[in-house]
Structure 1
Amino acid sequence: MADGTLTEGTVLHADLDAFYASVEQRDDPSLRGRPVIVGGGVVLAASYEAKARGVRTAMGGRQALQACPEAVVVPARFAAYTEASRAVFEVFHDTTPMVEGISIDEAFLEVGGLRRIRGLPSTIATQLRADVRARVGLPISVGVARTKYLAKVASAVSKPEGMLVVPVERELAFLHALPVERLWGVGKVTSAKLRDARIVTVGDVAEMFESELVQLLGSGAGRHLHALAHNRDPRPVQTGQRRSSMGAQHALGRGEHSPAELDLVLLTLVDRVTRRMRESRRTGSTITIRLRFGDFTRSTSSHTLARPTAHTVTVLDVARRLLASRSGAIKEKGITLIGVSLGSLDDQPAQLALPLDVTSGAELDDVIDAVRNKFGGAAVRRAVQLGETDPGAAPHLPD
């Protein structure tokens, strides 16, 4: 139809721009327009001014400052980011009841049922962006499309602080022109395999038989990419679901890392994850560590407790044992990434689990949380963390 009512998809992907850095620039006017790096030992977030100079998330702090010496480095303020996220999600829920949160700074929104009262999806998206800017003071990008996957791609292409509508009749033309790295699941290794085979765009993937992709990439990855290249994504926007796991990860530089350094990274990650769980009043029973070795191979190890917990020392004890079980591979191959997550999440109160001592109970965790909430995350640190940068300042692992 001429008015376009049949050409717009009804899925919105809303994604805050450089979220942590944008919160810092919002709260400190002196940082606006300047390159900002959040996090010291590793880049947790970078403003677009810093990104333009080559700074990237998860980059080492020293490397980031070499790329952008004039950058302003600020410590992470997770309480501020949590509060900003809550305010933004209030805007999302005021826009539509159909909101599926993906992470602290992005969500899918289904607006198909609002056409008569709110207008076209593009009109709703425009108002959403204006509301987030007016009510929360943060920039946000929005993609509008027929599927969740394509809406997410559209929001990424529209950044920073943009909006992109992909008409239904043009979705394949838009998708096929993109570089192959825009496909979900295409990282450095898969990208290299595809480009070695002269597959450089999503359109190139779409022209292949599924069996050819399976032979090149394996069954799971081949079928997954073949479906996405044809914009086959039947997943609806789902509401009322809570994340099934919480985690954090830290990328390590190449070279040797002492057991003490790895233990510090592990401790900081566990401390961060268990604090987030306590803040959300959740517990978990499955503790998992994920490792990436120097040869790009990966390892995942898990242990399930008899009872769910959110106690730092309990989780740390298990995580240390899991890490120790991979010490041979670490020594042989080197290690470039450590990740920790708690799964099988529950809403029941935490219960004590082994090891039991006077420092592992909920009382100590509660006191530490209270001090950090009042005076900041760096107000209380363990002895081994004194004088060290924070290696745990990294985005949480995907659910």
Structure 2
Amino acid sequence: MCDTGAVDDSSATILHVDMDAFFASVELLGRPELRSAPVVIAHTGARSVVTSANYVARRFGVRSAMPLAVALRHCPGAVVLPPHMEEYRRYSAEVMGIFSEVTPLVEQLSIDEAFLDVAGARRLLGSPGTIAKLVRERVYERTGLTCSVGAASTKFVAKLASTHSKPDGLLIVPAEGTIGFLHPLPVGALWGVGAATEQSLTRLGIRTVADLAHTPLATLERAVGVASGRHLHELAWGRDPRSVSTESIEKSIGHETTFEIDLDDDAAIRRELLRLSDQVGARLRRSGAVARTVVLKLRYSDFTTVTRSRSLPEATSVGRRIYDEIVIAFDSLGVAGRAGRAVRLVGVRTEHLESEGSVLASLWDPDSEWREAEAAVDEVVARFGRGSVRPASLVKRDQAPPEA
């Protein structure tokens, strides 16, 4: 953590506040006798997954989204409590209200985390470090819950700092200390570095953020693509121009379809994934949002459900880009992963949404042609309604295209 008196925190005006094991902590408010026990929040059932776990359970390797059966193998003595979403929403509203008392510039990312821009609050409330301590004190006094806070000059570094301060801590990274904080970290700490990208970078001998920062940009672009290479290079030097945005946008946007007859035809499944991706992209554009993560959902005829997610180097609202990433996720399952099972349901979802205006436009846009084409489609749909235009691959083969 960091003693606020030991550093010049005047430049660390962006706070990232993250509640500690939020769902589990809310449940334990009414069950204080369980605070020293491993606690898992999950519905009971053969296919249940972990919604949350307290830090005691996490020390046994229990993680969110892990199948409950696996979690109980890791931690046989865990106490399983059912989730109560209404309670979580009530506490979330109270916490976000506390943030708004400090500054009007609050960007809520999820039910349990937010960015705060406290630059304008310094004259009234003190330095960013003092404000961060005040936020933590008010949250605990009014709710009994703890939170971790990262303070930095950029959103990306503030979020990393809050992660490193968990649980129940505060870490301040002043602007002049950004490089010293970032460069020793593993390259996987950079936003946009998933498992595949990390493998590509490791093959080049790039294991830390410092390694990546000092790798020629052209080498990065060849390894992970132009857009991703530039994005990671900027982050490695602590450059993140995004400001805290108070615009309210949806937290995820998605569509799914249950087939009338289970499908084992890859081409037909891909056509449906294209249709869903097109719908999701259109909804993103109507909402003024862009997404940094796409998620594929498949449910098989035996009701087994799998999901695969992919992080994007550049946030997008382009349906074709969403589809391209979804197909990569679909192909990653392979024949062995699907084991010949027919597909009952498919879904396409986007997550980690941001306001379109809060994302810095890339100098090179690989999706510019698709972006322009889809914008034109939006105009046609606005005039003539849905279904008036669609991708050619979605037009039935026995249906002639309309005349020009």
Bin for the TM-score computed over the shorter chain = 0.5 to 0.7
Select 2:50's aligned residue among 43, 61, 85: 43
Tell me what 1:124 maps to: 131
Equivalent pair of 1:294/1:333 in contact (CA under 8 Å): no
Tell me what 2:197 maps to: 190
- The answer on 1:12 being equivalent to 2:15 is yes
Tell me what 2:181 maps to: 174
Q: Describe how 1:111-260 pairs up with structure 2 within 5 A.
A: 111-243=118-250, 245-246=252-253
Report deviation, 1:118.
0.6
> Matches of 1:129 and 1:16 in 2, distance apart?
10
Q: Describe how 1:1-399 pairs up with structure 2 within 5 A.
A: 7-39=10-42, 40=44, 41-243=48-250, 245-246=252-253, 290-291=296-297, 332=335, 334=337, 341=349
Name whichever of 150-159 and 75-84 sits farther off.
75-84
Equivalent pair of 1:289/1:338 in contact (CA under 8 Å): no
- The TM-score normalised by the length of structure 1 is 0.64
> Matches of 1:238 and 1:132 in 2, distance apart?
22
> Matches of 1:110 and 1:126 in 2, distance apart?
15
- Cα distance change on mapping 1:47 and 1:190 into 2, 3 Å: same
**Alignment gaps of 5+ in structure 1:** 250-258, 261-282, 305-322, 345-399
Amino acid corresponding to residue 42 of structure 1 in structure 2: V
> Matches of 1:77 and 1:217 in 2, distance apart?
42
| Deviations 1:246-292, CA, capped at 9 Å, x for gaps | 4699xxxxxxxxx79xxxxxxxxxxxxxxxxxxxxxx99xxx97248
> Matches of 2:222 and 2:211 in 1, distance apart?
16
Equivalent pair of 2:61/2:74 in contact (CA under 8 Å): yes
Amino acid corresponding to residue 239 of structure 1 in structure 2: T
Report deviation, 1:9.
1.4
Report deviation, 1:192.
2.1
- Cα distance change on mapping 1:334 and 1:153 into 2, 3 Å: same
Report deviation, 1:220.
2.4
Equivalent pair of 1:214/1:220 in contact (CA under 8 Å): yes
> Matches of 1:106 and 1:67 in 2, distance apart?
28
> Matches of 2:336 and 2:204 in 1, distance apart?
28
Equivalent pair of 2:37/2:78 in contact (CA under 8 Å): yes
> Matches of 2:149 and 2:255 in 1, distance apart?
26
Report deviation, 1:219.
2.0
User: Which SS does the other structure have where 1:237 is aligned?
Assistant: coil
- Cα distance change on mapping 1:68 and 1:296 into 2, 3 Å: same
> Matches of 1:212 and 1:114 in 2, distance apart?
43
- Cα distance change on mapping 1:106 and 1:339 into 2, 3 Å: farther
Name whichever of 85-94 and 32-41 sits farther off.
32-41
> Matches of 2:220 and 2:333 in 1, distance apart?
32
> Matches of 1:338 and 1:172 in 2, distance apart?
43
**Alignment gaps of 5+ in structure 2:** 257-261, 264-285, 288-293, 299-304, 312-316, 320-325, 340-344, 354-404
- Cα distance change on mapping 1:6 and 1:207 into 2, 3 Å: same
- Cα distance change on mapping 1:232 and 1:78 into 2, 3 Å: same
> Matches of 1:68 and 1:23 in 2, distance apart?
21
User: Which SS does the other structure have where 1:53 is aligned?
Assistant: coil
> Matches of 1:21 and 1:148 in 2, distance apart?
26
Report deviation, 1:177.
1.1
Equivalent pair of 1:99/1:238 in contact (CA under 8 Å): yes
> Matches of 2:130 and 2:122 in 1, distance apart?
10
- Cα distance change on mapping 1:51 and 1:243 into 2, 3 Å: same
> Matches of 1:298 and 1:230 in 2, distance apart?
24
Equivalent pair of 1:13/1:152 in contact (CA under 8 Å): yes
Amino acid corresponding to residue 182 of structure 2 in structure 1: L
Report deviation, 1:104.
0.8
| Deviations 1:91-112, CA, capped at 9 Å, x for gaps | 1111111100111110000000
Amino acid corresponding to residue 82 of structure 1 in structure 2: R
- Cα distance change on mapping 1:16 and 1:246 into 2, 3 Å: farther
> Matches of 1:209 and 1:184 in 2, distance apart?
19
> Matches of 1:119 and 1:175 in 2, distance apart?
27
- The TM-score normalised by the length of structure 2 is 0.63
- Cα distance change on mapping 1:155 and 1:19 into 2, 3 Å: same
> Matches of 2:83 and 2:153 in 1, distance apart?
36
> Matches of 1:331 and 1:4 in 2, distance apart?
52
Equivalent pair of 1:154/1:165 in contact (CA under 8 Å): yes
- Cα distance change on mapping 1:177 and 1:297 into 2, 3 Å: closer
- Cα distance change on mapping 1:226 and 1:72 into 2, 3 Å: same
> Matches of 1:123 and 1:232 in 2, distance apart?
25
